[in-house]
A and B are shown apart, each in its own frame.
Chain A
Amino acid sequence: METNKGENTRMSKRQMTVVGGGLLGAAIAYGAARAGTSVHILDQGDSALRASRGNFGLVWVHGKGATMPDYVQWTKEGLRLWPELQNELMELTGVDAGLQQPGGFWLGFDEKDVEARAVALDKINQDGGDVPFQMMDRAELRQYLPGLGDAVVGGSFCSLDGQANPLMLLRALHAALKAKGVDIISGVDIAKVEYDAGTGMFDAVAKDGRRWKSDRLVLAAGLGNAALAPQVGLLAPVKPTRGQVLITERLKPFLDYPTNKCRQTKEGTVQLGSTAEDVGYDDGTSADKIEWLARRAVETFPVLGQARLVRAWGALRPLTPDGYPIYQESQTCPGAFVVSSHSGVTLAASHCYVLGPWTSGLTQTPQEFKSFRGERFLDPNASFSNGY
């Protein structure tokens, strides 16, 4: 006999299994644990592709959601909730996730791109976006961004936007999970997930045969979701997109606002990025892209020509065909959820405070999640593109 979804009367040692310990899995597991759910995380360990390490670190709404108004509101909610997460993690763990929300700039090199940007941002607000933004010419931009190069012809500003430190966020979440008694089991390569309709229990089965049972199952396995989701009646057709970023030496603060081309961290390094490449599962770096990123950064801020680069890396980030997330509970295997998002930093607080209780069965499915169902990719008449 099935219990209603949303009602969890069974008890076991661990009520919830989260597959994946990256930014998504960690945020959701923490959100569930702080709501009273007992959770364990199965993390792949060092062989994982680790998209969380490749995030550029923007906490960003303006320009996103041009073809999906629900995503604009979901992202705005994420930005609104972020300060609470930053403070909570700091108090609980002492780790600073690096949130700053001074507003952010998109910078354009081409008049046509800047005009198209203005049209796209207007459209978002005509569709009810209510995203505060301002177009600026070069002279006005320079009042906020001293040293801006002549190659920049114009840009847009949104006061809601900002940045965080993806690596410190991940570390803070993992420290918070430990503080809440969540088991993080690493080195686990989940090959199979099973649902027993008789007991309503899930089994997560590792390649080496180990099994973990739970009442609830959250698939937050990044690119691994594509193969796992269909086993519990869900769909997550994610593909890898490679982002390469460059890191400079630590510099005295010169850039007060994050931009779409570079940002300076609290510690002083400047991150230049990022590419979005379709290269399959190759997570390496390439000389041509490194040169392109460096050239673009120096055109944006000529003073960066003096800076030394200390690192370059590539990472594979999961992307759905339309670039928007998938958040869905299974109809056929109630208690199973799939979560796929390209924006693990921007949406970290929503993943914690909204998805944590939702996957625990403590809240109803939010209204806007109808837009985030995986089935949208099955529509034979639809075609998909994304802004990445």
Chain B
Amino acid sequence: MATDTFFSIPKSTAARTVTITFEGEPLSVPAGISVAAALLAGGVKNFRSSVVGGRPRAPYCMMGVCFECLVEIDGIPARQSCLIPVREGMAIRRQIGAVELQFGAGEKA
């Protein structure tokens, strides 16, 4: 995992930690912070690829407005990582491009 980070979390907030994974790599992070904050502090700079241009993206507003921080969490695509608190064992992956709707059998011609 990248260690070169622009962000840090004050030691005083880290009373308890949880372990999450990003693209399969474990990260030990303070409990109670958002997924976006945890990933940024862990040195993650590329959260997702843009739907239109395919360029790498990272959180911008950190308050649920800009949708730049989308990631896949526990298999559910395109979640706003700045609004979701970390939880022990959470498996996070990059959101690559747009979400694909899953058609049921026989639904798609």
Interface window among A14-22, A212-220, A248-256, A330-338:
A248-256
- Write the nearest CB–CB distance from B77 to chain A, whole angstroms: 9
- Given contacts A251-B100, A302-B107, A306-B99, list 15 more A-B pairs with CB under 8 A: A143-B109, A146-B103, A147-B101, A147-B103, A249-B99, A250-B51, A252-B98, A252-B99, A267-B51, A267-B52, A302-B104, A303-B101, A303-B102, A304-B101, A307-B101
Enumerate chain B residues within 8 angstroms of A267, measured Cβ to Cβ.
51-52
- Nearest residue, chain B, Cβ from A310: B67
Which residues 78-109 of B have a CB within 8 angstroms of A? 78, 97-104, 107-109
Are B109 and A252 within 8 A (Cβ)?
no
Q: How far, in Å, is A138 (CB) from chain B's closest CB? A: 12
Q: In whole Å, how far is B49's beta carbon from the nearest beta carbon of chain A?
A: 12
Number of chain A residues whose Cβ lies closer than 8 Å to a Cβ of chain B: 18
Cβ-based interface call for A210 (8 A): no
A-B contact list, 29 entries, CB within 8 Å: A142-B109, A146-B103, A146-B107, A146-B108, A146-B109, A147-B101, A147-B103, A147-B107, A147-B108, A249-B67, A249-B98, A250-B98, A250-B99, A251-B98, A252-B97, A252-B98, A252-B99, A252-B101, A254-B103, A267-B52, A268-B51, A268-B98, A302-B107, A303-B101, A306-B99, A306-B101, A306-B102, A307-B99, A310-B67
Task: Specify which chain B residues have a CB less than 8 angstroms from the CB of A268 in the assembled complex.
Answer: 51, 98
Query: Do most interface residues of chain A lie in helix, strand or loop, or is the interface mixed?
Result: loop
Closest to B79 in A: A308
Complex CA–CA separation, A226 to B108 (angstroms): 49
Q: Are A303 and B99 touching (Cβ within 8 A)?
A: no
State whether B103 touches A252 (Cβ < 8 A).
no
- With a cutoff of 8 Å between Cβ atoms, the chain A residues found around residue B102 in the complex are 303, 306
Kindly list chain A residues whose C-beta atoms are within 8 Å of the C-beta of B51.
250, 267-268
Q: Which 5 A-B pairs have the closest CB atoms?
A: A252-B100, A146-B109, A250-B98, A250-B51, A303-B101
Complex CA distance for A306 and B108, rounded to whole angstroms: 15
A274 to chain B, nearest CB (A): 22
A302 to B101, CA, bound (A): 10
